[in-house]
């Protein structure tokens, strides 16, 4: 097996999640806080679904604990971030 295949197998779906998280953080960095937060929250939901549906070998870097614990944690973080982004007051002070 080539080293590219070994790396791909080890990290699996984590690459997709990492790219989407970086896109959301980039949106936030360019001043689009609410859309960026929604992208990050959506990415966490997608990561939870990937962890739920893929086998342990295919999920790669998304596997940290048991499947139930990983999915619960990712969905909990997604809901928390979604609530924060929705309730965030972005009006200028002054």
Domain coordinates of the chain in residue numbers? 3-87
Q: What is the reported pTM?
A: 0.85
> Smallest Cα–Cα separation from 40: which of 20, 57, 54?
20
pLDDT for res 38: 97
Beta carbons of 75 and 45 less than 8 angstroms apart:
yes
For the residues of 55-94, what is the DSSP string, one character each? -HHHHGGG-SS-HHHHHHHHHHHHHHHHHHHHH---PPP-
Mean pLDDT value across residues 55-79: 92
What's the whole-number mean pLDDT along residues 52-77?
Answer: 92
What is the band of 12 on the pLDDT scale with cuts at 50, 70, 90? confident
Mean of the per-residue pLDDT values for the chain? Answer: 89
CA distance 71 to 45: 9
Instruction: State the first-to-last Cα distance of the chain, in angstroms, to the nearest integer.
Output: 61
């Amino acid at each position: 097996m080539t080293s590219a295949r070994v790396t791909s197998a080890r990290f699996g779906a984590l690459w997709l999640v990492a790219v989407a998280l970086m896109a959301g953080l980039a949106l936030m960095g360019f001043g689009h806080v609410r859309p960026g937060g929604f992208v990050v929250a959506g990415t966490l939901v997608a990561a939870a679904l990937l962890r739920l549906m893929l086998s342990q070998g295919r999920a790669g870097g998304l596997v940290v604990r048991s499947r139930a614990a990983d999915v619960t944690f990712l969905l909990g973080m997604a809901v928390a971030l979604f609530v924060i982004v929705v309730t965030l007051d972005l009006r200028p002070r002054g």
